[in-house]
Chain A
Amino acid sequence: MSPNLALSLVAGVLVACGVYLLTERSLSRILMGVIVMGNGVNMLFLVAAGPAGNPSFVGRGNPEDQIDPLPQAMVLTAIVINMAVAAFVMTMAYRSFQLFGHDEVQDDREDARIRALAEKDQVSTTFEEARFQDTGEDMVSE
């Protein structure tokens, strides 16, 4: 089976766009990225299904001319899952907007705290008697 070059290229471009969007911080851009990337991946299943053919129903024409139905079943499942993902990420982005006023994925505070200690070359707070003083300033890069 020789794969379809045009479909592969389209899939490649879509996945590349999706990856670019996924590296953004804003959840709504990530959502776009997921959708675009999902479509690109679905294209790959069309490549896997081989050349176009007749619908695969029993008794409709010669089985030799029918297209492989299995990748289509997989694509259907993937599309449904993608829809659910889109719904969930959208809800999460909205809730994040409600709580923080923006929908950006944030750094972990605890992580930032320990990193700040490391930069100041201090030992961990649980080590001997050195205690961390909370200066009240926000360590999280906004």
Chain B
Amino acid sequence: MNNLLPLPVLLPMFGAALTLIVGRRPRLQRLISITVLVAVVVVVAGLALTAHREGTQTLWFGAWPGTAGIALVADRLSALMLLVAALVTLGVLVFSGGQDEEEIRQETPVSIFHPTFLLLCSGVSNAFLAGDLFNLFVGFEILLFASYVLLTMGATRPRIRAASIYVVVNLVSSALFLILLATVYSATGTVNLAQLSQRIPGLPDDTQVMLQALMLTIFGLKAAIFPLQAWLPDSYPTAPAPVTAVFAGLLTKVGIYAILRTQTLLFPHRPLTEVLLVLAALSMLVGIFGAIAQSELKRMLSFTLVSHIGYMLLGIALGSVDGLAATIYYTSHHITIQTTLFLVVALVGRVAGSTSLERVSGLVAVSPLLATLFFIPAMNLSGIPPFSGFIGKIGLVQASLEYGGVWGWTLVAVAMLTSLLTLYAIAKAWNRAFWGEPELVTPEQDGDDLVPGKLPPVMVGATIGMIALTVLLTLAAGPLYDYCQQAAIALTDGDYARAVLEGR
């Protein structure tokens, strides 16, 4: 019983309503949104502390007898994800506040940016806290609808084109999710995750495999795992910069979280391990080869996102405590780093007028500050010691070695190769955009180009804050990794079901 649990969902929802009411006063909107998100950060930090010290927190809604009601559950994993998500959304919101009046008209023209953004946060929190599959579905729908609106913001040509792909893909995954819910309910008579973990092992093997494959397809589509990744690099880069940043950082990780939760809780014997290992390896390779071929920074980063999703899937597939702990750590690292990089690329666009590697060069001379801002998270992403990316990858490699055999060694090789190729892609981008003769874009009449300009201090401040967060993940790696280790142990020893069903 913990009445703090609904707050990460409710606060942004109330904030969304308030900001919608004061839609004509952008300053007030900004103030409300930032206040709400700061409050959420405080609440989830408290939740994480409680979950860490006193164990999994559960809240059953209404006075329903037994397990008929809806449960919100925060164990260490959920609480950590919530905390990282809240910090990242706060950073992005502050960043978006740096746009001047003129740009607000062009990039995020209508008064609905803040309400929709807050609804997205609310949906993400709901998905992380959901204690049953149906509530997870509702959380996904809230965040998806918010994302449809954010992606089509302003309804320009490229955004409508990109959004139609994104919307259709996600409609299919929502329909599949509903089919899953109906199937699960007819097979077991419940959608509560804790109860499912007791009932699914009693089902016939073929039914179990079907349910597992269905879940992997649905969540794999959201997480952009190969071969379900093709929609991502097509749809993300066209959105407004803050939107792309938060999508790339958070939305795919919600899918990863759902896979992590359902696989460890419902299928503890891991019947599809080999399939998952192959998919993890292919996601890494396909993503990174895609990234190397790109000549546009945002698209390149979208492809590296696909490839690094492979790392997280690798840890889940291995299923050992070490693998899961590394995945949890890597996921929190990757949420922050991917968001930060997209924010930096947005700054590159502002300084140079374009983010195309063919049209921009010599940025080191133009803005040394920007070059530093790009360099730190870029090295972190490619896994250069001592950054958090390196620590997460080492954890995953160790877990693969423990798994051993041909599979283990192959995956270590693939993970190493992907890491090297990430460094290659990043180095190539650095060579093109930052070294050489300074060359900025002369804006074309009808293109997406911005007029090359100065760095707005608010945006730089927000980006520095995000980089500080990624560095903090590195500095606090010891205690944080212990926390992840304990979260992983709790995932594997059935603590979730015990805590949720206690006294029911």
Contact = CB atoms under 8 A, between A and B. Distances in A.
Interface of A: 1, 3, 15, 18, 22, 27, 30, 34, 37-38, 41-42, 44-45, 47-48, 70-71, 74, 77-78, 81, 84-85, 88-89, 92, 95-96, 99-100, 105-106, 108, 110-111, 114, 124-126, 131-132
B175 A38 contact: yes
Contacts of B174: 81, 85
Interface stretch (B39-47, B178-186, B318-326, B333-341): B178-186
Given A1-B186, A71-B182, A114-B294, A126 B165 contact: no
Given A41-B178, A88-B145, A126 B186 contact: no
Interface string B147-165: 0100010010100111111
Contacts of B432: 126
A96 to B, nearest CB: 5
A96 B167 CA distance: 13
Tell me if B's interface is mostly helix, strand, loop or mixed. helix
Interface in B222-245: 233-234
A78 B357 CA distance: 45
Contacts of B295: 124-126, 132
Contacts of B472: none
B200 interface: no
Closest CB pairs A-B (n = 9): A44-B182, A48-B186, A41-B178, A48-B185, A108-B234, A105-B164, A126-B295, A125-B295, A48-B182
A18 B174 CA distance: 13
A110 B182 contact: no
B428 interface: yes
B145 A132 contact: no
Given A45-B182, A105-B168, A132-B358, A96 B294 contact: no
Interface of B: 68, 134, 138, 141, 145, 148, 152, 155, 157, 160-165, 167-168, 171-172, 174-175, 178-179, 181-183, 185-186, 191, 233-234, 292-296, 299, 357-358, 428-429, 432
A125 B358 contact: yes
Contacts of B429: 126
A27 B160 CA distance: 11
Contacts of B357: 125-126
Nearest to B190: A70
B177 to A, nearest CB: 9
Contacts of A108: 161-162, 165, 234
Given A34-B171, A92-B160, A124-B292, A111 B182 contact: no
Given A81-B174, A110-B296, A126-B295, A92 B182 contact: no
Nearest to B431: A126
A133 B183 CA distance: 53
B160 A41 contact: no
Contacts of B68: 70
A47 B171 CA distance: 22
Nearest to B165: A105
Contacts of B171: 22, 30, 34, 85, 89
A41 B296 CA distance: 40
Nearest to A132: B358
Contact of B152 (A44, A47, A92): A92
Nearest to A30: B168
Contacts of A45: 178, 181-182, 185
A88 B167 contact: yes
Contacts of A77: 134, 138
Given A41-B182, A48-B183, A124-B294, 6 more contacts: A3-B186, A74-B181, A92-B164, A114-B293, A124-B293, A125-B357
